[in-house]
């Protein structure tokens, strides 16, 4: 498939926490010329820009509450309507549950995106615990680093805004297993939802990211 055709791909990237979704989404975006659409980035940008949806989301974030599904879906769809996404995109971190998947399908049907594909990165609990245990987050811009796989250039400071990095409670071993149980309850059914539609392309994400990337590109 020529690169111009590849750039028209519409991809949804799924997988448990620690499977490498962010890393692979960025790599696929660069390799295929696709817009990388991350729900985390969308949320931060909307709040920084003080948009109408950003103001609504900030209301929940400031109180330490989860942003409601409906609001997240609105923000994702708003982003998907931009010109760069119409030329092809990879959706990273969404949908997280069946309702979001159904709402996304409704939007895709309106836009004529019947041929979109779903990539599922599968990883074992052992690999996930090892990966998340070394993950560090910037306190200010929320950029993600890994002390082994993607260390910051300057000690424990963010490469982008120079703020201090920290390890989230969610990334400590005692909570990773709980996160995986939550994933199994809420997000794993989304994988089954897409499998029933015959859209799933599954890859073993326990391996080196470069190996997985090469296999995904060959599959696409």
21 belongs to the catalytic site: yes
Look at the alpha carbons of 130, 22, 148, 137 in this order and tell me if their dihedral is positive or negative.
negative
Which is the catalytic residue, given 168, 172, 177, 214? 168
Adjacent-strand bridge partners of 35: 89
Angle at alpha carbon of residue 209, lines to 208 and 213, rounded to 5° = 125
Catalytic residue among 10, 79, 131, 135: 135
Under 8 Å between Cβ of 134 and 147: yes
How many whole angstroms separate alpha carbon 159 and alpha carbon 154?
A: 7
Q: Give burial (CB, 10 Å; 0-12/13-18/19+) of 163.
A: middle
Reply yes or no on whether 168 is catalytic.
Answer: yes
Active-site entry in 44, 86, 117, 179: 179
Q: 31 by DSSP, 3-state: which?
A: helix
Active-site residue, selected from the candidate residues 44, 58, 96, 199: 96
Active site residue 96: yes
Active site residue 135: yes
Residue written as tokens 């309702």?
Answer: 99
Which residues are known to be catalytic? Answer: 21, 96, 135, 168, 179
């Amino acid at each position: 498939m020529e690169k111009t055709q590849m750039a028209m791909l519409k991809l949804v990237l799924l997988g448990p926490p620690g499977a490498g979704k962010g890393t692979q989404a960025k790599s696929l975006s660069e390799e295929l010329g696709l817009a990388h659409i991350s729900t985390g980035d969308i949320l931060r940008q909307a709040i920084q820009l003080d948009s109408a949806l950003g103001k609504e989301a900030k209301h929940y974030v400031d109180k330490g509450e989860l942003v409601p599904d409906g609001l997240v879906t609105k923000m994702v769809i708003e982003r998907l309507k931009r010109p760069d996404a119409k030329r092809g995109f990879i959706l990273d971190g969404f949908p997280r549950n069946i309702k979001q998947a159904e709402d996304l399908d409704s939007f895709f049907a309106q836009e004529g995106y019947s041929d979109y594909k779903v990539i599922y990165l599968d990883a074992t609990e052992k690999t996930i615990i090892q990966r998340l245990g070394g993950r560090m987050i910037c306190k200010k811009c929320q950029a993600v680093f890994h002390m082994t796989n993607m260390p910051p250039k300057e000690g424990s400071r963010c490469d982008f805004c120079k703020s201090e990095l920290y390890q989230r409670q969610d990334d400590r071993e005692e909570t990773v297993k709980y996160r995986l149980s939550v994933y199994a309850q809420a997000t794993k059914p989304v994988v089954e939802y897409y499998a029933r539609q015959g859209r799933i392309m599954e890859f073993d994400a326990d391996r080196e990211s470069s190996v997985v990337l090469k296999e995904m590109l060959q599959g696409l």
